[in-house]
Structure 1
Amino acid sequence: MRFCLPFLVVLLWVAGSARAQRLPADTLHAPAPALPGLYADPHIAAFGNRYYLYPTTDGIEGWGATSFTCWSSPDMVQWKNEGVILDLPRDLTWASKNAWAPAIAAKNSKYYFYYSAATNIGVAVADKPTGPFKDPLGKPLVAKGLFKGQAIDPMVLVDDDGSAYLYWGQGQCHVVKLNPDMISYDPAAVIEFKPPGYNEGTFAFKRKGKYYLMWSEYDTRDPRYSVAYATASSPLGPWTKAEKNPILKGHGVVKGAGHHSVVQVPGTDQWAIAFHRFHIPDGNGYNRETCLAPMRFDAQGNILPVSVFESVKPTKIKASRPNAHP
């Protein structure tokens, strides 16, 4: 089959236009971070009519932060620093350093804050998402050395029936159903598994009856740091890694995009992803900044690739909703 020259020109122009829609035109100027300063490992959540971010304080060699802060927003764009919500030397008796990668869950009209401290996993409880949080155990929830891999990077999924599941691990992933009190579990019920490419930063959520398990691949100091995911019909797995991965990775000036969390805008099928990247222009694995971008799905429920050059638009929660399962 032969094409005349003008027709070929049109075909090339159409193909080029389609490609331009998929890739950012400018890969040298990334959007500003969501939070000012150096913050990593952000956990985003929606409670009532506000969004909340719980990050790791960054900018310290060896990830030596000793406290956690909370940030709140009415629209995911304007963020307010709610101050320190948990200070390890002040509030704990069993750890005083390496405050990393927190997560939060709501149940029993309480807020449960899960976090890494000195490579153990702890839990703290408060009446409000902004704290103050108190240690109810006086010891780790998951102590280092009990299971394979590092005991870091906790995540809790509260299912539609109120059952809660704790995920954690670096080098090896673990999941266990929490007891109704949210601060205990049966160690014999812990399931260990490792999806292909898994390193750390587990996050789990449910959409339209399907469970999604997401994680970070490579090391957080590696510019290739990225996010992949798998799906299952149960919060305990087994998990099938999606064919198209990763769904989040660096591009152009953006390096080390990973260790994420996601939030669903209440009452909608609109989603956003929070993640960190190397600080621009001179960042590395100890100097990272928190960003937000839209996250979308195709008709089959596959997560579409996230553009690290797209920022979230102001999105308010239209109606208040219960903060926790009864």
Structure 2
Amino acid sequence: MRYLILSLVISCWVSAPSVAQRAPADTLHAPAAALPGVYADPHLAAFGQTYYLYPTTDGTEGWLSTSFTCWSSKDLVNWKSEGVILDLPRDLTWATQRAWAPAIATRNGKYYYYYSAAQSIGVAVADKPTGPFKDPLGKPLVAKGQFQGQTIDPMVLVDDDGAAYLYFGQGMCHVVKLNPDMISFDPAAVVEFKPAGYNEGSFALKRQGKYYLMWSEYDTRDPRYSVAYATADSPMGPFVKALGNPILKGKGVVKGAGHHSVMQIPGTDQWVIAYHRFKIPGGNGYNRETCLSPMRFDAQGNILPVDVFEPVQKTSIKTGKSRTVRP
């Protein structure tokens, strides 16, 4: 009997679930959105001692927004509205609605704001990250129908040598080197390609000499909306899709996590990914909210899966120090 009891005790101890197994991660209470209200397709950037977010204004079926806003922060957590920085009916002669998916780059002391409008891509220029932005062309930078796929979702990578590369396109990815003026390019030099699973929202970054091209898969109205990536030795490719994709996707109460941007905190190897998810509660592909999460790399340079339930770090650019902020 003694041996039977001892055997049962050992058996129960070996088969008992661990603490982690008994207490699975909470996927019902997501961190709060970074911005109040409904905003999507966020582009996150750091200029000087300030962080900036440039999102799509959401909340209309068919994505019929007509203006863009800018938000600023000193710590990635507390965001201040800088107001409307580009109003299509007021500031453009060639588009009045469908203001989508902006991006920003700086070069030679100017700020260049790239955006989708009327299913074309425009560019505006300002002396400050908060504008006012002016249309230098009076027409699209890339016109609807000029290339395969839908002409939306621009992103510009400025390389270490100062050369700038424009990525864009839904259904087909395009990349081209911009001219030094940042508002023109040679159409004959555009490279078209489509990584497996590619849909839209391309974003490029460079880390330790390697180029990363990221994009969103599925449709933004699909709860499976997610982010994958490929790598290359050149900003023009060819890009090879990585293993371990997607690196960003919904889980639990978080649905439709995608259409992102990535920012390196200046002076560090800390990275933050900005993205949207269906608004919680009751959101959908037309009612999305902007979120921030840490993004990390392993020792081989692979992007690790992002935890959409991990709080963003409250970080000052000036010090580079951070502390965890509770959701």
TM-score (norm 2): 0.93
Q: CA RMSD in A?
A: 1.6
In structure 2, runs of 5+ residues without a counterpart are: 1-6, 321-327
The one-letter amino acid of 2:94's match is: W
User: Corresponding residue for 1:324?
Assistant: none
What SS does the corresponding residue of 1:35 show, helix, strand or coil?
coil
User: Corresponding residue for 2:4?
Assistant: none
- 1:12 Cα deviation (Å)? 6.0
User: Corresponding residue for 2:157?
Assistant: 157
Greater mean deviation of Cα atoms: 86-95 or 5-14: 5-14
What SS does the corresponding residue of 2:313 show, helix, strand or coil?
coil
Q: Distance in 1 between matches of 2:22 and 2:226?
A: 23
The one-letter amino acid of 2:142's match is: V
- 1:160-194 CA-to-partner distances (Å, cap 9, x unmatched) read 00000000000000000000000000000000000
Q: Distance in 2 between matches of 1:132 and 1:94?
A: 18
The one-letter amino acid of 1:218's match is: Y
- 1:203 Cα deviation (Å)? 0.4
User: Corresponding residue for 2:262?
Assistant: 262
User: Corresponding residue for 1:220?
Assistant: 220
- 1:10 Cα deviation (Å)? 4.9
Q: Which has the higher contact order (CA 8 A, sep 6+)?
A: 1
Cα distance change of structure 1 residues 12 and 208 upon mapping to structure 2, 3 Å threshold? farther
What SS does the corresponding residue of 2:31 show, helix, strand or coil?
coil
User: Corresponding residue for 1:229?
Assistant: 229
Percent identical among aligned pairs is 78
Pairs within 5 Å for 1:243-322: 243-318=243-318
Cα distance change of structure 1 residues 226 and 112 upon mapping to structure 2, 3 Å threshold? same
The one-letter amino acid of 1:167's match is: Y
Q: Distance in 2 between matches of 1:233 and 1:11?
A: 49
The one-letter amino acid of 2:170's match is: Q
What SS does the corresponding residue of 2:314 show, helix, strand or coil?
coil
Pairs within 5 Å for 1:39-188: 39-188=39-188
The one-letter amino acid of 1:268's match is: T
Q: Distance in 1 between matches of 2:12 and 2:256?
A: 39
- 1:25 Cα deviation (Å)? 1.4
Cα distance change of structure 1 residues 99 and 9 upon mapping to structure 2, 3 Å threshold? same
- 1:266-307 CA-to-partner distances (Å, cap 9, x unmatched) read 000000000000001100000000000000111000000001
- Contact kept, 8 Å, 1:71 with 1:82, in 2: the verdict is yes
- Contact kept, 8 Å, 1:43 with 1:53, in 2: the verdict is yes
Please point out which of 10, 28, 34 is paired with 1:6: 10
Q: Distance in 2 between matches of 1:291 and 1:142?
A: 29
- 1:128-180 CA-to-partner distances (Å, cap 9, x unmatched) read 00000000000000000110000000000000000000000000000000000
Cα distance change of structure 1 residues 6 and 64 upon mapping to structure 2, 3 Å threshold? same
- 1:6 Cα deviation (Å)? 3.3
Q: Distance in 1 between matches of 2:136 and 2:16?
A: 64
User: Corresponding residue for 2:3?
Assistant: none
The one-letter amino acid of 2:131's match is: G
The one-letter amino acid of 2:282's match is: D
The one-letter amino acid of 2:207's match is: R
User: Corresponding residue for 1:323?
Assistant: none
Q: Distance in 1 between matches of 2:246 and 2:12?
A: 34
- 1:318 Cα deviation (Å)? 2.0
The one-letter amino acid of 2:180's match is: P
- 1:1-24 CA-to-partner distances (Å, cap 9, x unmatched) read xxx76388457645x63x789xx6
The one-letter amino acid of 2:127's match is: D
Q: Distance in 2 between matches of 1:69 and 1:96?
A: 15
What SS does the corresponding residue of 1:314 show, helix, strand or coil?
strand
- 1:51 Cα deviation (Å)? 0.4
The one-letter amino acid of 2:168's match is: W
Q: Distance in 2 between matches of 1:150 and 1:115?
A: 13
